[in-house]
Amino acid sequence: MTGIFNKFNSLNILIIGDVMIDSYVWGKIDRVSPEAPVPVVQVTKKENRLGGAANVALNVQSLGANPIICAIIGNDAEGKDLLSLLERAQLSSEGIISTEGRLTTVKTRIIAHNHHVVRVDAETDTNISEDLSRLVQAKIAGIITEKNIDAIIFEDYDKGLISEELITFTVTLANQKGIVTAVDPKKRNFHFYKDVSLFKPNLKELKEGLKTNIDPVSMTQIEAAVDEIKAKLNAKNVMLTLSEHGVFISTGKGQKLIPAHVRSIADVSGAGDTVIATAALCLASGLDEFRTAAVANLAGGLVCEHVGVVPIDKEQLLKETALL
């Protein structure tokens, strides 16, 4: 596996999706508010981190590859904060477009005594204009042409950047150039990701997308649902994440359930970002689909041992792949 991990270092990965700030407020609770029956959190620490598609970029970077993000942010104070976070993380902002009239997405998590108390979201989730979408398409085409892109990751949080037109434009261009396309979908564009290399929904997303119930311990139901979405999208591979039940991978070579590893779970936030980043790099490096799913499953479990959204540790992941 060392050879595959070494190949990561030469990869250029384009990440198209919704970037955001994950803001954390840590504190302690000693009393209930006299104004309402709610706990009072006494703040001890605050921190802003890159989230959403930007967290995928951090995972790609941590694995040794070169990430390039294409995204929309607001021309607001939070947008400037996000650009500063990108600069601090040594991530390129060349694909970031700042626009008036939109909020930069900020998810504020309040944590007390290692427990997630509440989350407060500030965001705009309406679709971007056609003119802005064409500008994004031009940006994508330019990056693909100039940067020798090895894989494209769609990190979709339903915030309005990604549309059917944008997906079709990008996937068509990628397939013409033999570029791996990997998708972390959400509800709005679920059925538009056709002809991609890897489609990676979680169980909730697949249930909503197919409008059906799926028992996570019923292989018959899982196989039927995955077969259905694979056929509808003409996807080369579908990887369904099943939380504590592991991942189910369906390829042209067959299907396989890969159980989750026993972990001390602290926080599942950002695990999906890690899984899609790891899977895209493995596929772009030539690893077979089943081993790709196994490594991505392992990576997702590792980041769940940490509180908050954190990128994968490449060396730790490499060590644990020896157990596969």
By the 10 Å C-beta count (0-12 exposed, 13-18 middle, 19+ buried), 161 is classed as buried
How open is the CA angle 155-157-162, to the nearest 5 degrees? 70
**260 Cβ contact partners less than 8 Å away, ≥ 6 residues apart:** 242, 243, 244, 245, 246, 247, 297, 301
Positions annotated as catalytic residues are 273
What is the rounded distance in angstroms from the CA atom of residue 184 to the CA atom of residue 155? 5
Token pair 């706990």 is at which residue? 39
User: In angstroms, what CA-CA distances link 72 with 19, 54, 278?
Assistant: 7, 11, 24
What is the rounded distance in angstroms from the CA atom of residue 184 to the CA atom of residue 198? 9
| Residues 152 and 175 sit within 8 Å (Cβ to Cβ) | no
Name which of 45, 46, 56 is nearest 20 in CA terms: 56
Strands 180-184 and 198-199, sheet pairing: parallel
User: In angstroms, what CA-CA distances link 124 with 161, 175, 204, 239, 267?
Assistant: 10, 31, 23, 29, 26
